[in-house]
């Protein structure tokens, strides 16, 4: 695998350019008679000249193959608006290939895709968004977004990364220079996701360590602790003494012990030093995984992709056998059609697809860029998307079975049984663990799984950011990649500190809602899709896929890329603006105006890159507006 830098000058448009190309290539191959053809002879014998050029290119290609370079990507790329010349000499491509690396085998790429797209977005985020948006109502919008946008765009991102051999920041600029701002927006979103994703990893590490500290019991199984209140009840206690104001010991452990949550974002409280320590620990682990690049982490990725399914299988079998589980599952699959007329389920369903599939984060093109040029990425994309969706659905089965059980025990409705927030997974899963034989063992195993998923997702997203930035400035950053990784981790760590204070979870909710969800993510993915399929051209992209895989994509995929996906995203985006509702925390906390303004600024920090760079590009580029927009 090697990196390709595409120039701006066409090959063989004039005889002078052709002559220059031939002479330079002959010189590189050390032909002693490179000056034998004078200008007169070249003009008289164009056929000889063309045959000579073809011969030279064939020799160069053989030399590339002998040195382990992928010749399909090292030569001209005819799909990019005609033949285009490479700026990088062959010897430089050879060196860059060694520096950038590639997958050791095809299975590494498949499991990397599963690892980056199957993570906390499935186990943590999907259940709480599904609960927040009415269970079955959310599933309707989720599946619409999956068919129209999720699977087609997942495949397109992987394919375009594989075709160009570059990461997420530079690929759009290669196809549509005027939309280079999409790359900057992608890196901004990825950077913001890294900031608050690291906090989730810290929470899971806290639970993992707490499970050991309380042996032979578990710290959330009883009410006799300093953080418990009079409304606390033990999950396995006599249900006859409970009332609908009772709070599970599991929920109190989360809100009062882990978070020590304050009454609002206005009151940040003090630093949670235990979370501070586990946050440092999580970043140390992440650094040592990615310091050589994700393509060197193959065996780690295999384990992190497969291990969670062993644990989920045990949990789902136990969860569906609990009392009241049937009521929870019925709520899970039954849509409320009145809610479908509101914007919340639609925007959350669409952005959850983007979030869990890692669309728009730059991670998929970064992974695809390490592939061989002829790799069958379509097969891997379909497998990954199916596995991703099934993981989400299984996580939902476990969560809603537990919610049904808690609702049955407390004589409450499922909608009000717990405070719907980002901590839902830290309430429902520990509940089901308590009902397993040998609960401490299963708690340790479960939270080890969450730690693995969290670190797995985090280092993939960090790698996407690092790869995108390094690919954009390779001469400056590739030689000091490890130092750049360290600097990135330190900056992200410092910016995440406000979210591990006692009121930090309120800021966390703001970050989750405005940085990688809602309007900003829709805006980013919409313009990425427009850049590839309208400005560059859907037909040209299909030609590129045919060049790699030997056949063009199906007509359905073409319709999704060019028409259906942009229409769905634009419709949801407009709908969400018309019916805008401010973010809330839990069952009723309303954020102050300044916090809402902060969230909107976070969204704009990524969205504004696209129109501002487009305006700048139009200003500095000569030609008519049409020529500037569709220039490649």
Label each residue of 275-306 as H, E or C: HHHHHHHHHHHHHHHHCCCHHHCHHHHHHHHH
Q: How far apart are CA 156 and CA 564, in angstroms?
A: 14
CA distances from residue 365 to 109, 160, 186, 361 in whole angstroms, order as listed: 12, 7, 11, 9
Q: How many helices (H) and strands (E) does the chain have?
A: 31, 6
Residue with tokens 């990825």: 190
Q: How far apart are CA 476 and CA 198, in angstroms?
A: 27
* Residue among 149, 181, 543, 496 at smallest CA distance from 351: 149
Q: How far apart are CA 267 and CA 506, in angstroms?
A: 10
Dihedral of CA 292/293/298/304: which sign? positive
Contacts 24+ apart (CB under 8 A), 77-80: 77/4, 77/6, 77/163, 77/544, 78/543, 78/547, 79/163, 79/540, 79/541, 79/543, 79/544, 79/547, 80/6, 80/174, 80/175, 80/536, 80/540, 80/544, 80/632
Dihedral of CA 61/64/65/69: which sign? negative
Distance between start and end Cα atoms, the chain: 24
For residue 285, the tally of other CB atoms under 10 A from its CB is 15
For residue 157, the tally of other CB atoms under 10 A from its CB is 30
491 neighbors 535 (Cβ within 8 angstroms)? no
Give the tokens for residue 101: 């690396």
Helix 481-496 × helix 273-290 angle, to 10°: 160
| Binding annotation for Na(+) | 118, 122, 356, 388, 453, 456-457
Residue 222 burial (CB < 10 Å; 0-12/13-18/19+)? middle
Q: How far apart are CA 356 and CA 117, in angstroms?
A: 6
* Residue among 392, 391, 394, 403 at smallest CA distance from 432: 403
| Binding annotation | 118, 122, 356, 388, 453, 456-457
* Residue among 272, 284, 298 at smallest CA distance from 104: 298
Q: How open is the CA angle 70-73-79, to the nearest 5 degrees?
A: 155
Residue with tokens 């929470």: 203
Label each residue of 198-243 as H, E or C: HHHHHHHHHHHHHHHHCCCCCCCCCCCCCCCCCCEECCCCCHHHCC
């Amino acid at each position: 695998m090697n990196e390709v830098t595409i120039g701006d000058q066409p090959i063989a448009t004039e005889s002078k350019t052709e002559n220059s190309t031939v002479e330079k290539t002959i010189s590189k191959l050390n032909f002693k008679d490179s000056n034998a053809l004078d200008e007169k002879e070249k003009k008289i014998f164009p056929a000889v000249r063309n045959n000579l050029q073809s011969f030279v290119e064939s020799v160069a290609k053989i030399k590339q193959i002998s040195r382990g370079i992928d010749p399909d990507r090292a030569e001209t790329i005819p799909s990019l608006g005609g033949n285009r010349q490479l700026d990088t000499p062959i010897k430089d491509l050879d060196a860059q290939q060694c520096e950038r690396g590639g997958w050791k085998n095809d299975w590494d790429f498949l499991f990397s895709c599963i690892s980056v797209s199957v993570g906390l977005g499935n186990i943590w985020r999907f259940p709480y968004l599904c609960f927040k948006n009415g269970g079955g109502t959310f599933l309707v919008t989720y599946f619409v977004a999956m068919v129209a946008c999720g699977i087609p765009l997942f495949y397109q991102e992987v394919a375009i990364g594989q075709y160009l051999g570059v990461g997420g920041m530079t690929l759009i600029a290669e196809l549509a220079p005027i939309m280079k701002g999409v790359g900057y927006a992608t890196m901004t979103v990825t950077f913001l996701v890294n900031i608050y994703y690291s906090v989730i990893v810290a929470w899971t590490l806290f639970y993992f360590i707490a499970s050991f500290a309380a042996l032979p019991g578990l710290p959330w199984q009883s009410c006799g602790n300093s953080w418990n209140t009079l409304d606390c009840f033990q999950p396995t206690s006599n249900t006859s003494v409970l009332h609908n104001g009772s709070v599970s010991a599991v929920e109190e452990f989360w809100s009062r012990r882990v978070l020590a949550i304050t009454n609002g974002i206005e009151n940040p409280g003090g630093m949670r030093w235990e979370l501070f320590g586990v946050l440092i620990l999580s970043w140390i682990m992440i650094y040592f995984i990615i310091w050589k690049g994700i393509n060197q982490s193959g065996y780690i990725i295999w384990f992190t992709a497969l291990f969670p399914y062993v644990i989920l299988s045990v949990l789902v079998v136990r969860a569906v056998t609990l009392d009241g589980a049937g009521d929870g599952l019925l709520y899970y699959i039954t849509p409320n059609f009145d809610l479908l007329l509101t914007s919340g389920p639609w925007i959350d369903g669409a952005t959850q697809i983007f979030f869990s599939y890692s669309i728009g984060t730059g991670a998929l093109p970064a992974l695809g860029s390490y592939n061989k040029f002829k790799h069958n990425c379509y097969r891997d994309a379909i497998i990954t998307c199916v596995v991703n969706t099934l993981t989400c659905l299984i996580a939902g089965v476990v969560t809603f079975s537990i919610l049904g059980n808690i609702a049955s025990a407390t004589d409450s409705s499922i909608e009000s049984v717990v405070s719907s927030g980002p901590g839902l997974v830290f309430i429902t899963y520990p509940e089901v663990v308590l009902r397993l034989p040998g609960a401490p063992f299963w708690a340790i195993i479960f939270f080890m799984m969450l730690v693995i998923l969290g670190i797995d997702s985090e280092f993939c997203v960090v790698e996407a950011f690092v790869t995108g930035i390094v690919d954009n400035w390779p001469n400056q950053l590739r030689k000091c990649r490890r130092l750049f990784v360290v600097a990135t981790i330190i900056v992200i760590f410092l910016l995440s500190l406000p979210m591990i204070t006692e009121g930090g979870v309120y800021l966390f909710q703001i970050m989750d809602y405005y940085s990688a969800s809602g309007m900003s993510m829709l805006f980013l993915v919409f313009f990425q899709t427009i850049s590839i399929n309208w400005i560059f051209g859907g037909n040209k992209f299909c030609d590129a896929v045919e060049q790699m895989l030997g056949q063009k994509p199906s007509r359905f995929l073409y319709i999704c890329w060019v028409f259906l996906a942009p229409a769905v995203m634009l419709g949801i985006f407009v709908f969400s603006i018309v019916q805008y509702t401010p973010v809330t925390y839990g069952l009723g906390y309303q954020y102050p105006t300044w916090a809402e303004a902060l969230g909107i600024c976070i969204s704009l920090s990524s969205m504004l890159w696209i129109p501002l760079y487009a305006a700048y590009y139009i200003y500095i580029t000569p030609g008519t507006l049409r020529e500037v927009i569709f220039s490649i």
